[in-house]
């Protein structure tokens, strides 16, 4: 069964450092997303991406965040200057059509120290 | 404000003891309700989408139903491997299908 692949599975970074979280969505999917889940809290939306541009972003997704689809397979989330409160599980997701369920990746656990 | 509320927060069952999980929402003009299963340290796994009141979907021991204000996930004769957090989510009224609003989930533990 097709999978969404995320790397790394766990990243530890110092506050103020830049991190790039990587995702390979399912190959024929057209809609891409990043969500995050702080430990013990809800899954929360960060950004959606379609046709090489951001469709919608949340209040969390400020100027420190950016997304990119540099080629036909990868989808990245960059955090320019990490803060302690950025520590969370970050999930990439994709789907073929907009009103169907997402396929999520297994996530990247980001720990900012 | 669009909201999704799940109950109970946690549920402990004996193997074979059937029960139901609840998801209520305040979004008007519902355009789909999504159920996911999440294992610890993993991403949510898609289970079902329901679009209209009265709709039902089944997968193994799980059956999801939808009314105009809430959805139920019925678990029949659960097994320990059904232990997980079950999440429901809806698209908000505004913004098309660009995002989903998730509930906090119900943590289900099934004991042998």
> Where exactly are the structural domains of chain A?
23-96
- How far is the C-alpha of A66 from the C-alpha of A78, rounded, in Å? 5
User: Which residues in chain A have Cβ-Cβ distances shorter than 8 Å to B34?
Assistant: 101
Tokens encoding B86: 């079950």
Question: Does residue A100 carry a pLDDT above 90?
Answer: no
User: Picking from A41-45, A87-91, B97-101, which range would have the lowest pLDDT averaged per residue?
Assistant: B97-101
Condensed to tens digits (0 to 9), the pLDDT of residues B43-98 reads 999 999 999 999 999 999 999 999 988 999 999 999 999 999 999 999 987 767 78
Q: What is the pLDDT of residue B31?
A: 84
CA distances to A12, A56, A86, B49 from A46, in Å: 20, 8, 12, 22
Q: What is the pLDDT of residue B95?
A: 65
- How far is the C-alpha of A13 from the C-alpha of B78, rounded, in Å? 41
Tokens encoding B27: 């979004």
User: Which residues in chain A have Cβ-Cβ distances shorter than 8 Å to B46?
Assistant: 101-104
User: Which residues in chain B have Cβ-Cβ distances shorter than 8 Å to A103?
Assistant: 46
A101: nearest CB among B43, B49, B95: B49
- Model confidence at B42, in pLDDT bands (50, 70, 90)? very high
Q: What is the pLDDT of residue B12?
A: 98
Q: Does A48 touch chain B (CB under 8 A)?
A: yes
State what percent of residues in chain B have pLDDT above 90: 81
Contact B105 A42 (CB under 8 A): yes
Q: Which CATH architecture has domain B4-111?
A: Sandwich (2.60)
Q: What is the mean pLDDT of chain B?
A: 93
Helices (H) and strands (E) in chain A, counts: 0, 11
Neighbours of A15 (CB within 10 A): 13
Domain ranges of chain B: 4-111
The CATH number of A23-96 is: 2.60.40.10
């Amino acid at each position: 069964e097709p999978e969404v692949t995320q790397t790394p599975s766990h990243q530890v970074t110092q506050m103020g450092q830049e991190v790039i979280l990587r995702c390979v969505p399912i190959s024929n999917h057209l809609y891409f997303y990043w969500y995050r889940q702080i430990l013990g809290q809800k899954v929360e939306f960060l950004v959606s991406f379609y046709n090489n541009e951001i469709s919608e972003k949340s209040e969390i997704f400020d100027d420190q965040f950016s997304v990119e689809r540099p080629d036909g397979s990868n989808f990245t989330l960059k955090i320019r200057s990490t803060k302690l409160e950025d520590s969370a599980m970050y999930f990439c997701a994709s789907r073929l059509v907009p009103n169907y369920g997402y396929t999520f990746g297994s996530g990247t656990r980001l720990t900012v120290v | 404000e669009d909201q999704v509320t799940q109950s109970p927060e946690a549920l402990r069952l004996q193997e074979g003891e059937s029960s139901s999980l609840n998801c209520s929402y305040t979004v008007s003009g519902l355009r789909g309700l999504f159920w996911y299963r999440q294992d610890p340290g993993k991403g949510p796994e898609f289970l079902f989408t329901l679009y209209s009141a009265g709709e039902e979907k089944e997968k193994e021991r799980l059956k999801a139903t939808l009314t105009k204000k809430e959805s139920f996930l019925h678990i029949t004769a659960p097994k320990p491997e059904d232990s997980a957090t079950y999440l429901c989510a809806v698209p908000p009224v505004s913004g098309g299908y660009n995002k989903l609003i998730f509930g906090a989930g119900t943590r289900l533990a099934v004991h042998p």
